[in-house]
Amino acid sequence: MPKRKAAIAVGGVAALGAAALLLPNANASQDKDQAAGAAGTVKTLKAADASNLSAQLQKALGDALAGSYYDGAKQQLVVNVVSGDKNVIVQAKKAGAAVRQVDNSTASLKAAAKTLKTKATIPGTAWAIDPRTNKVAVTADSTVTGAKWNRLQSTVRSLGSGMATLKKSAGAFKTLVSGGDAIFSQVQGGGVRCSLGFNVTASDGTPAFLTAGHCGVAAKDWSDSQNGQPIATVDQATFPGNDFSLVKYNDATTQAPSEVNAGNGQTVPITQAADATVGETVFRMGSTTGLHNGQVTGLDATVNFQSETNPGGVDTVNGLIQTNVCAEAGDSGGSLFTQDGGAVGLTSGGSGDCTSGGETFFQPVTAALQATGATLGNGAGGQAGAGDQTGTAAPSASPGDSGAGNGAGDQSGAGDQSGAGDQSGTADPSATAGDQNGAGNGAGTGDQSGAGNGAGAGDQSGAGTGTGTGDQSGTGDGSSLNGSN
């Protein structure tokens, strides 16, 4: 009996052409100044290199830095240094960063966030340190009114002038169960639909995938088609606090490629886990809304979701990535990634939609991997860490054309993807994007019926040559997403 090919490719089904249109100069050389060795010379950096430099400076200088961000227009890493700290300024400049002197130290910003946690943990609120403003950015959704709004305003004012900003969001913060390539489960009270984030190898060497924690808390057994037989079982799930789940494929011989299915026969090889950097461009895949991109706006964000299991209670999640990428119900657990194949986050929740915009928060992949002991890639399929991928990728298969991983590698037997095609039910948009408050959203049972299509994961019948996912002739309506970002 041939090995079963994982029916679910990572991410959602959307045309990668949109990514190319969004970033037409993404493949241009950006490292012409990389070799500049003179002290004080600001280096021109790709976003991934800026993230690495930021991590190195943070390790070396610690809280002497007051945050950093990526200036995409100038392709530079900007680091904040409290005014007067000349030694730190010299070291940051020597490393090739642009230095900006600011008033608020990391310690003072963290103290402000701690005060917010103590005095303003109110359902529908969120905050994160914004290095571009050198302040704590506080957001309240549309449910924060009356005495709650007054309490939040008073707390922000108490932090002092120049320490925090406060804004209102038009929508309501909620987890987005119902998403990427769709995965399904049946629980008491109805069906649950989430998104597969990234395929990984569990610490025991078996194939698995990451998705949102509130999905794993909601249901234990998951299928790749609505009402289908379970193909994977939750091994670990954490929510609230963090928001990630490790779900193991039931068949230990499942080949689960480390890639994002981008539709139209194209894939993005996922070659590494990457930490987010404020200001960098990221892409999110989801079966409800397809491919969308935006910028990282904050790190280590705290979000206070209305509890789905305790009326009047709050489910607080910490350490999230804040972005201005839109998302809607159905996108939970889906993949957030960079153009050059870095796995960044798992969709957690947010407010707004892809018509009016909003905020979306993501669980960092690096933290999920560390906590679960999993690694990117598939040990059963010979793709551990994407390094053993000798197949040659088509140039269009990766939005960043980084060359790392060289496509989907030697994926013999990849054509047996019959499971993913059986998603023929037609989704009711009102069911996936509708009101998921009450008993079901974060806990997973709510109003999530009618999620059948999975945005057309389609008949992935020929994914085998290492040039992407092969002939994905049934990628549903993903092609309609071209240029929709």
Sign of the CA dihedral running 80, 83, 88, 89: positive
Q: What is the pLDDT of residue 176?
A: 67
Note whether 111 and 211 are same-domain residues. Answer: yes
In this structure, what CATH number is given to the domain that contains residue 464?
2.40.10.120
Q: Which of 80, 102, 124 is the last residue of a domain?
A: 102
Asked if residues 44 and 70 have their Cβ atoms less than 8 Å apart, the reply is no
Q: What is the pLDDT of residue 182?
A: 74
Note whether 55 and 127 are same-domain residues. Answer: no
Q: Residue 268 burial by CB count (10 A; 0-12/13-18/19+): exposed, middle or buried?
A: buried
Does pLDDT of 263 surpass 70?
Answer: no
Maximum alpha-carbon separation in the chain: 69
Does pLDDT of 484 surpass 60?
Answer: no
φ, ψ dihedrals at 387, nearest 5°: -75, -35
| pLDDT mean over 33-59 | 78
Note whether 40 and 10 are same-domain residues. Answer: no
Q: What is the pLDDT of residue 107?
A: 94
Note whether 152 and 27 are same-domain residues. Answer: no
Tell which residue, 239, 248, 179, 182, has the closest CA to residue 210. 248
Q: How confident is the model at residue 187 (pLDDT cuts 50, 70, 90)?
A: confident
Note whether 417 and 485 are same-domain residues. Answer: yes
**Distance between CA atoms of 384 and 279, rounded to whole angstroms?**
30
Residue 69 identity (one-letter amino acid): Y
Q: Which of 102, 133, 153 is the last residue of a domain?
A: 102
Beta 342-353 vs 357-364: how paired, if at all?
antiparallel
Note whether 14 and 44 are same-domain residues. Answer: no
Asked if residues 267 and 469 have their Cβ atoms less than 8 Å apart, the reply is yes
424 or 110: which carries more pLDDT confidence? 110
Region of poorest pLDDT, from 120-129, 135-144, 375-384: 375-384
**Distance between CA atoms of 146 and 163, rounded to whole angstroms?**
24
- Two tokens, residue 197: 């984030």
- Two tokens, residue 134: 């050198």
**Distance between CA atoms of 250 and 231, rounded to whole angstroms?**
5
18 or 299: which carries more pLDDT confidence? 299
How would you classify residue 4: left for phi > 0, otherwise alpha for psi between -120 and 50, otherwise beta? beta
Q: How confident is the model at residue 287 (pLDDT cuts 50, 70, 90)?
A: confident
Task: Name every residue whose Cβ is closer than 8 Å to that of residue 161 and which is 6 or more positions away in sequence.
Answer: none
Q: What is the pLDDT of residue 309?
A: 78
| pLDDT mean over 432-448 | 35
| pLDDT mean over 416-428 | 36
**Distance between CA atoms of 210 and 256, rounded to whole angstroms?**
12
Q: Which of 102, 119, 140 is the last residue of a domain?
A: 102
Q: Which domain holds residue 447?
A: 1-21+104-485
Asked if residues 89 and 296 have their Cβ atoms less than 8 Å apart, the reply is no
Q: How confident is the model at residue 83 (pLDDT cuts 50, 70, 90)?
A: confident
Strand partners, 138: 127, 166
With both helix axes pointing from N to C terminus, report the angle between 146-158 and 106-119 in degrees, rounded to the nearest 10.
150
Assign 3-state DSSP to the chain and report helix, strand, coil percentages, each to 5. 20, 30, 50
**Distance between CA atoms of 267 and 285, rounded to whole angstroms?**
12
Does pLDDT of 299 surpass 60?
Answer: yes
Q: Residue 160 burial by CB count (10 A; 0-12/13-18/19+): exposed, middle or buried?
A: exposed
Q: What is the pLDDT of residue 56?
A: 93
Chain-centre distance for alpha carbon 450: 24
Region of poorest pLDDT, from 109-113, 241-245, 352-356, 449-453: 449-453
Note whether 160 and 79 are same-domain residues. Answer: no
Note whether 216 and 87 are same-domain residues. Answer: no
Note whether 184 and 74 are same-domain residues. Answer: no
**Distance between CA atoms of 296 and 37, rounded to whole angstroms?**
29
Give tens-digit pLDDT for 374-402. Answer: 999 644 333 333 333 333 333 333 333 33
Note whether 473 and 370 are same-domain residues. Answer: yes
Give tens-digit pLDDT for 153-183. Answer: 999 999 998 999 999 988 888 886 533 357 8
Q: What is the pLDDT of residue 3?
A: 40
Domain count, the chain: 2
Tell which residue, 355, 325, 247, has the closest CA to residue 336. 325
In this structure, what CATH number is given to the domain that contains residue 38?
3.30.300
Strand partners, 222: 232
Does pLDDT of 105 surpass 80?
Answer: yes
| pLDDT mean over 258-263 | 76
Q: How confident is the model at residue 408 (pLDDT cuts 50, 70, 90)?
A: very low
Q: How confident is the model at residue 40 (pLDDT cuts 50, 70, 90)?
A: low
Asked if residues 399 and 23 have their Cβ atoms less than 8 Å apart, the reply is yes
Note whether 312 and 353 are same-domain residues. Answer: yes
Does pLDDT of 15 surpass 70?
Answer: no
Active site residues: 214, 243, 332
Does pLDDT of 197 surpass 70?
Answer: yes
| pLDDT mean over 79-93 | 88
Strand partners, 233: 221, 248
Q: What is the pLDDT of residue 436?
A: 35
Residue 224 identity (one-letter amino acid): D
Note whether 117 and 59 are same-domain residues. Answer: no
Highest mean pLDDT among 189-198, 273-282, 373-382, 448-457: 273-282
Tell which residue, 193, 172, 210, has the closest CA to residue 304. 172
DSSP H/E element including 107: helix 106-119
Q: What is the pLDDT of residue 401?
A: 35
